[in-house]
Amino acid sequence: MSSIFDGLSGTYPRALYQPMGFVEADFKKPFIGIVNSWSEATAGHFHLRQLAAWVKEGVIEAGGMPVEFNTIAACDGICQGKGMHSILPMRDVVAASVELMVNANQFDGLVMLCSCDKIVPGMLMAAARLNLPTLFVTGGPMDVGMLDGQELVASDVKEGMGRQRSGEITTEELRQIELAAVPSAGACNFMGTAMTMGIVAETLGFTLPGCSTLPAMSEQRREFCIESGKRIVEMEHEGFTAGEMLSKAGFYNAIRVVLALGGSSNAVLHIPAIAQEAGIAIQLQEFDSLSRETALIGKFRPAAKATVTDLHNAGGIPAVLKTLEPLLDMQLPTVSGKTIAEVAGDVKQMNRAIIHSLEEPIDVEGGIAILYGNLAPNGAVFKKSGVPESMQCFRGTARVFECEENVRDSLLSKEVKAGDVLVIRNEGPKGGPGMRELSIPAALLVGMGLSDSVAMITDGRFSGARVGRVWGISRQKHMSAVQLHWWNREIG
């Protein structure tokens, strides 16, 4: 147990905690840090203040002393364009801020509350560095929107922008989509980076079963958070630390689940970074080799009609683990105190229309492929599960753009035509800088009805949930941008 409050040296810390309502008896309890990324700058985190209150309730009930602090959080969807330069670096700032705060205060255990794209992996990186008893409570997906009897998710807004620009819908119809598609707090209800990394946290064993897909506004949230608060105190007594869940086999499990569900291509950036903090090397090629051995058993918005809520109602990640059992290491531990096999064994039923069996998969290979060639000698990340059959082989004339804004303006000006290959360069980690995500241009392409006839390539990133023929050229080991030397020629 922490010694920060003990003896003579603890006199000053005790004195400074007393004005916040803590009393002498608290200083003898397990000292639990509640790491919260609550923010009014993103809907994904807006509800985390309430979740933290429930977690603290559980910690107190179990005999712990909960102390909440915050770290930064931003929404990729909001921070497009110039703001996107700051998004990927934010992941490492989150990791460092949590690490420094925890080391400075000498917490005994941690509950990490997080939701969105860079914050979940940032906190996982911090968990690996600190190796304390650590439990995650991810915020879950927002409610599904409804308009004229049709389900909507946040990505429909971006695609609606393209539909409006192409004349398919009116400005007022786009406004109605805007008003209906994001009805509550929570992470975006599609298989983007936020939900993918929440699923990674659950697969690694850092959450209680079902946490990652449990809807943000579910009535079960309160009980779930209280149980999480109780469990972290038990973990502190047991000495069960984050490192026990961070093994090569565990990361392979997480990669296979991402591949099987058509998860975000950004997992290729984040999983190796988390593994590195645990002293484990995950190479780009390993995603490709695992994908060739892992069937695609689920497909979700925007690549299909199903939402993440549908995944939860079909049994969630425990049902996915049960389905993938022949491919996974099932004896790994989780924060629940159960092994992955035991978590999967608790599944009573699942919906095979949502979570397909290995015998009847959507595709015999997983959702991500790593491509190599003259454009990308170090590899390009390709979200295969988001590409229609007709685009599996594409040939067109390259049009080179120097930045995201140039290709966006070309799309909005309707200069892009069927058969074009849009090459957007100078958007890598160094050239961007910050390896911007080209979410809006890719969504415009879909909304304008060009996703089946136009390809996009970049040395930056596309949205991890993107559909259509898009490639992201992987970063070099020295983190400089990959230069594309494919000037106005045909691309096969």
From CA 157, how far away is CA 302, in angstroms rounded?
11
Identify whether the C-beta of residue 448 lies closer than 8 Å to the C-beta of residue 484.
no
Residue type at position 376: A
| Residue 228 contacts residue 137 (beta carbons within 8 Å) | yes
CA-wise closest residue to 181 among 326, 301, 66, 58: 301
- Reference 442, options 452, 456, 429; nearest CA is 456
Residue 166, classified by CB atoms within 10 Å of its CB into exposed (0-12), middle (13-18) or buried (19+), is middle
Q: How far apart are CA 27 and CA 65, in angstroms?
A: 7
Please state, in angstroms and rounded to a whole number, the distance separating the CA atoms of residues 342 and 408. 49
Q: What CA–CA distance (Å, rounded) separates 190 from 150?
A: 15
The tokens describing 427, both together, are: 């958007």
Q: Is 247 an annotated catalytic residue?
A: no
- Copy the structure tokens of residue 301: 């918005």
Select which of 115, 451, 463, 474 is catalytic: 463
Question: Rounded to an integer, what distance in angstroms lies between the CA atom of residue 263 and that of residue 253?
Answer: 13
Which tokens in the block code for residue 127?
Answer: 């968990």
Residues 235, 212: Cα–Cα separation, whole Å: 20
Strand 368-371, strand 109-114: pairing = unpaired
Q: Are strands 368-371 and 470-473 parallel, antiparallel or unpaired?
A: unpaired
Q: Is 20 exposed, middle or buried (0-12, 13-18, 19+ CB in 10 A)?
A: exposed
User: Which residues does 456 contact at the CB level (< 8 Å), separation at least 6?
Assistant: 407, 421, 422, 423, 424, 438, 441, 442, 445, 462, 468, 469, 470, 471
**Which backbone phi and psi does 376 adopt, to 5 degrees?**
-140, 75
Q: How deeply is 19 buried, as exposed, middle or buried, from its count of CB atoms within 10 A (0-12, 13-18, 19+)?
A: exposed
Q: Which residues are catalytic?
A: 463
